[in-house]
Amino acid sequence: MFLNTLTPKFYVALTGTSSLISGLILIFEWWYFRKYGTSFIEQVSVSHLQCKVWRNPLNLFRGAEYNRYTWVTGREPLTYYDMNLSAQDHQTFFTCDSDHLRPADAIMQKAWRERNPQARISAAHEALDCATAYILLAEEEATTIMEAERLFKQALKAGELCYRRSQTLQHHGTQYEAQHRRDTNVLVYIKRRLAMCSRKLGRTREAVKMMRDLMKEFPLLSMFNIHENLLESLLELQNYADVQAVLAKYDGNSFRVFKVKFHPSPLSLTLPKSATICYTAALLKARAVSDKFSPEAASRRGLSTAEMNAVEAIHRAVEFNPHVPKYLLEMKSLILPPEHILKRGDSEAIAYAFFHLQHWKRVEGALNLLHCTWEGTFRMIPYPLEKGHLFYPYPICTETADRELLPMFHEVSVYPKKELPFFILFTAGLCSFTAMLALLTHQFPELMGVFAKAFLSTLFAPLNFIMEKVESILPSSLWHQLTRI
């Protein structure tokens, strides 16, 4: 009925108002971009809404590691959501539009879409002319790392042959470019997994060489985050100088800082690559002072420059991902890391601590320094917690995404909440109660008067009872003297 009574003038006014608001937003966006070099709307979406899921650089092997866990415990370490993301990754990196031209590639294109593991493995056995078939068998059918390494070496032979063939034809059209891009992804994946097999089998120096060669051969494929595998292997070798060199290239703690008019605290324009970068930098700085660090001595004489740098690095790492310390300090049980992680989330913390806890334990006093300083981070972040200190504000959506990535038997870690002091809560409650009484007294004076008399008589009833008992026990003359006093 209401809509039928609206006139054309209303719609003209509505359209004009909408256009005016859109124009004001456009002008504000233009001014903000000219002043700060970034879009305000995009910045808000990145700060508060974006929760991008990333492939775990150190993800385990399904057949040799995840399935073994299931056999022993009867629990599924991977969620359906996590495995579905992996299936999407496989279809993106290991297939292209021209796969139907080759029978083996066509079979594997269907295999990557297959939900049943046994069906995928059966399809891979039918397409052993294809490098990706060996990849699938190494990932899902092999029950040991040595068996997976053998299959990946077979995949490497087939992958290099396809890569060289497509490299010569890549400029002959878009179809050949897509094939070359796919063959490059396959080759990089195989070499990376071979390096991870070497690392797991104890041949760490060989793994480091393979990773360095891979990064030199394909320097543009930084999306695979191979440097995180390299960092973990270098830490195992205790080659801290090379670790520092890798950090200087991929982080260096040299992110730019700017101040926004709407945020009183500085926010970084560029986030670090991951928790691995932040916490490895903190470990190296803690290593310089942790063996002699004492909380009692530091409280008496104050922190030295090196100790202050270590504490600041720990604060930086904890603000980036606040869930890691509880796993490193073994305040919370570890589980197998998922195949995908959420930056700054509990899933990333599990993936980092699973592989790096041993490196923190190896550095004398590093965990003690972390234990003494990590909680101080939350006192530095301004209240409310939506405001960041060094980085963009902590995303609200991480908890929801982590619950989908992590198995049901794991209790998802949430961002620590800053609690208000009791005095503030008590004062706020008292003021609210007083204001409510004043409003009720103004509206219903007679009723509130009766209520007040009844309340006071009830409140003083025990006192009156005690006074009557005292009067009956004490002599009247003594009671008369006490009342005069």
pLDDT, tens digit, 9 for 90 and up, residues 113-137: 888 989 999 999 998 888 999 999 9
| Strand-pair partners of 263 | 260
Rounded-to-integer distance, Cα 164 and Cα 178, Å = 14
Average pLDDT (295-321) is 86
**CA–CA dist 323, 314 (Å, integer):** 13
DSSP letter string, 333-374:
---PPPSEEETTSHHHHHHHHHHHHHHHHHSTTHHHHHHHHG
Give the pLDDT of residue 266.
39
User: What tokens appear for 356 in the block?
Assistant: 């790096």
Q: How far apart are CA 318 and CA 329, in angstroms?
A: 13
Helix, strand or coil, per DSSP, at residue 419: coil
Asked if pLDDT for residue 423 goes beyond 90, the answer is: no
Closest listed residue to residue 227, CA positions, set 205, 237, 242, 206 = 242
Alpha helices by DSSP H, listed for 45-126, are 67-73, 80-94, 103-113, 117-125
**Residue 259 and residue 257: Cα distance in Å, rounded?**
7
Q: Considering the chain, what percentage of its residues have pLDDT values greater than 90?
A: 41
Summarize the confidence of residues 251-267 as an average pLDDT: 40
Q: Which of 21-25, 258-262, 313-317 shows the lowest mean pLDDT across its residues?
A: 258-262
Q: Is the pLDDT of residue 469 over 70?
A: yes
Q: Give the domain ranges of the chain.
A: 49-55+238-419, 92-237, 422-451
Read off the pLDDT of residues 166-184 as tens digits, 9 standing for 90 and up.
888 777 778 878 888 888 9
The more confidently predicted of residues 101 and 334 is: 334
Give pTM, 2 decimals: 0.74
- Cβ(394)–Cβ(48) under 8 Å? no
Phi, psi values for residue 371, rounded to 5°: -60, -35
The pLDDT tens digits for 296-308 are: 777 788 788 888 9
Contacting residues for 364 by C-beta, under 8 A, at least 6 apart = 290, 291
Does residue 53 sit in helix, strand or coil?
strand
The dotted CATH code for 92-237 is 1.25.40
Q: What are the beta bridge partners of residue 53?
A: 342
Helices (H) and strands (E) in the chain, counts: 23, 4
Q: For residue 325, give the nearest of 356, 290, 291, 288 by alpha carbon.
A: 356
pLDDT tens per residue, range 181-225 = 888 999 999 999 999 999 999 999 999 999 999 999 888 776 678
Going by the DSSP 8-state scheme, the letter that residue 474 receives in this structure is: S
Say how far residue 439 (Cα) sits from the centre of its chain: 48
Residues contacting residue 276 through CB under 8 Å, at least 6 positions apart: 57, 228, 231, 232, 352, 356
In this structure, of 51-65, 97-111, 205-219, the range with the lowest mean pLDDT score is 97-111
255, 268 contact by CB (below 8 A): yes
Report the greatest alpha carbon distance in the chain: 121
Between 141 and 265, the higher pLDDT residue: 141
The mean pLDDT of the chain is: 81
- Residue given tokens 């004001």 in the structure block: 24
